[in-house]
Chain A
């Protein structure tokens, strides 16, 4: 049992002041502006929005600045902030097919309607440090190309679907309640809606490692990146007084459709099955990992035997949240003096008993000889 401590206010206040000074660093160096973080560290901002589960670039940038770039601390700050705001309601589901696409690739089809659009990516770079950036290098203007304004960019999964080789999205009743982890605590077994929400908020590193484990044979699932797309979608919100869904503006998201060979089971025929990843901002590694883990967690529904960590719903969903994880791990550094004194007493006693038992045994053995 944890026994609280009190006091220490002055030292704590001073420690925070010192931290603030250190956060600012050398004052002869210009201070970071939120705009600079939002514009130039966009991938950090994306991660904080995704795992902080709050879409607001400026707040994410502020959190990153306040946390000195510690993204998990920044995520914690966003999670705490959101509790201060009223909830207006739920949006209409976003339509990722109607996205203004900034990037769209498929590893399964070379030629596909809408084309392979690399967009802004680190793929195919040589991962060499660019010293021009350290020296205020010149910025190249992006090239321009022709496009067909009427051409759609259909989902790759729809193409396979047309052939009957792709499992359709499972049908759900119209009035099915949609789980919300910000309202109801996690319970098992968890349905896919709750699992996806959990994964969307989940730690990128944790999901990356779990996704990787499925590729290495722990619950192997032969995945292909069917499609990754990134860009802007419109968010709509139903307003009772108006009687229609009003647009709230556009939001940037990244989506991944992972498709997996499936040899069939007693409940489903051989076909391709899918895992899904979706996250705010530009978060490609996150959505790919999320899609791998989503697919692994569908084992129950697809009649597969759960043998690997990534297929263990309770293990995955209970440990994916880095705010919870860091809270429990880091609470260990808070004063545990009373607990420790109690344990120290106990271990001392056990230690003494052990030594006296040893001594008795040695005496008995000596006597026997």
Chain B
């Protein structure tokens, strides 16, 4: 149902999707700090209260074959609406209700003219920098364990 929808996302939705990925991987404390840093917190209504449930995670046989159910994961999600009308969705692995709420608000703000630049600069970019740095460190550390074995020649 979605492999097709995924490839045909509009640039706006692609931006939103990328933002959701950053928010989903962000620590709760970072999002709370970003929320607390807002001078005038935007007025919003919680449409769907933060709720924790399960998503059954799927893999594929052989990595590329038919899908199968691997295991469930806890997921918490939330939907908010700004007084200006935009709807925001927050969802991530784990059981943090605060994180789902902040993520939903930032997702909504990203869609507004007044806030999108602020969210981009003060929330998403720092998250992106942190993610990139962590990934870079992992790849450097793993690269140091790259091994070249020599095959011994068998004697007669």
CA distance A327 to B20 in the complex (A): 42
Chain A positions within 8 Å of B75 at CB level: 88, 237, 248
CA distance A197 to B71 in the complex (A): 8
CA distance A249 to B103 in the complex (A): 12
Could you tell me if A147 and B57 are in contact, using CB atoms closer than 8 angstroms? no
How far, in Å, is B27 (CB) from chain A's closest CB?
11
Could you tell me if B89 and A239 are in contact, using CB atoms closer than 8 angstroms? yes
Write the chain A residue with the least CB distance to B26.
Answer: A249
Could you tell me if B145 and A118 are in contact, using CB atoms closer than 8 angstroms? yes
Could you tell me if A257 and B63 are in contact, using CB atoms closer than 8 angstroms? yes
Write the chain B residue with the least CB distance to A298.
Answer: B61
Could you tell me if B55 and A244 are in contact, using CB atoms closer than 8 angstroms? no
Chain A positions within 8 Å of B147 at CB level: 115-118
**B window 1-33: CB within 8 A of A:** 1-3, 5-6, 9, 13, 17, 20-21, 24-25
- Select which of B5, B52, B141 is within 8 A of A245 by beta carbon: B5
With A86-B54, A88-B77, A178-B58 in contact, is A196–B143 under 8 Å at CB? no
Pull 25 A–B residue pairs with CB atoms less than 8 Å apart, ordered by A: A54-B73, A56-B93, A59-B74, A87-B72, A90-B55, A90-B56, A91-B56, A91-B57, A92-B2, A92-B58, A116-B147, A144-B140, A169-B60, A182-B72, A192-B61, A193-B67, A193-B69, A197-B69, A200-B59, A200-B68, A241-B79, A242-B89, A244-B2, A249-B92, A278-B59
**A window 220-255: CB within 8 A of B:** 234-239, 241-251, 253, 255
Say whether B64 faces chain A, with CB atoms less than 8 Å apart.
Answer: yes
Could you tell me if A244 and B143 are in contact, using CB atoms closer than 8 angstroms? no
Which stretch in A27-35, A99-107, A336-344, A361-369 binds the other chain?
Answer: A99-107
CA distance A183 to B111 in the complex (A): 38
Could you tell me if B89 and A251 are in contact, using CB atoms closer than 8 angstroms? no
CA distance A118 to B142 in the complex (A): 7
CA distance A119 to B24 in the complex (A): 26
Could you tell me if A196 and B61 are in contact, using CB atoms closer than 8 angstroms? yes
Task: Tell me if A's interface is mostly helix, strand, loop or mixed.
Answer: mixed
CA distance A246 to B53 in the complex (A): 16
**A window 126-164: CB within 8 A of B:** 142-147, 149, 155, 157-158
Give a binary string over B65-94; 1 marks a CB under 8 Å from any A CB, 0 the rest. Answer: 111111111110101000000000101111
How far, in Å, is B51 (CB) from chain A's closest CB?
7
Could you tell me if A192 and B68 are in contact, using CB atoms closer than 8 angstroms? yes
A103-B142, A172-B65, A249-B21 known; 9 new pairs, CB 8 Å cut-off, are A55-B93, A56-B95, A91-B58, A101-B142, A118-B146, A144-B140, A157-B62, A178-B69, A278-B59
